[in-house]
Amino acid sequence: MKCPLSPGAQVWTATGLAILAVDILGETTLSESFNTFSRTPHGRIVTTAGWLYLTAHMFGMIPSKRDPLVLAFSRVPKRKKVGIVVV
């Protein structure tokens, strides 16, 4: 049976499930870890810069020819599409 989700939606779903599993099984949640790290002097800079970049990337605010993530993955050879099978 073919999954009705697009490959991107499949990856986001898997990412969400992985985060949920870590939050349930871990000693601290990822949110708690993020908050703890962002309160350190260097952590505040790293998390703020990372959050700003990720937001700009996700909303397409950075031109593709200047977006480091797009440029990095544009050089990766294309592979066959792989889907997640949902049973």
Distances (CA, A) of 75 to 10, 72, 80: 23, 6, 16
Render 13-70 in DSSP notation, one character per residue. Answer: HHHHHHHHHHHHHSSS-HHHHHHHHHTSHHHHHHHHHHHHHHHHHHTT-S-TTT-HHH
pLDDT digits (tens, 9 = 90+) for 48-85: 999 999 999 999 999 999 998 888 888 777 666 655 66
Domain boundaries along the sequence of the chain: 29-74
Its pTM stands at: 0.62
What would the mean pLDDT of 6-12 be, rounded to a whole number? Answer: 86
Average of per-residue pLDDT values in the chain: 86
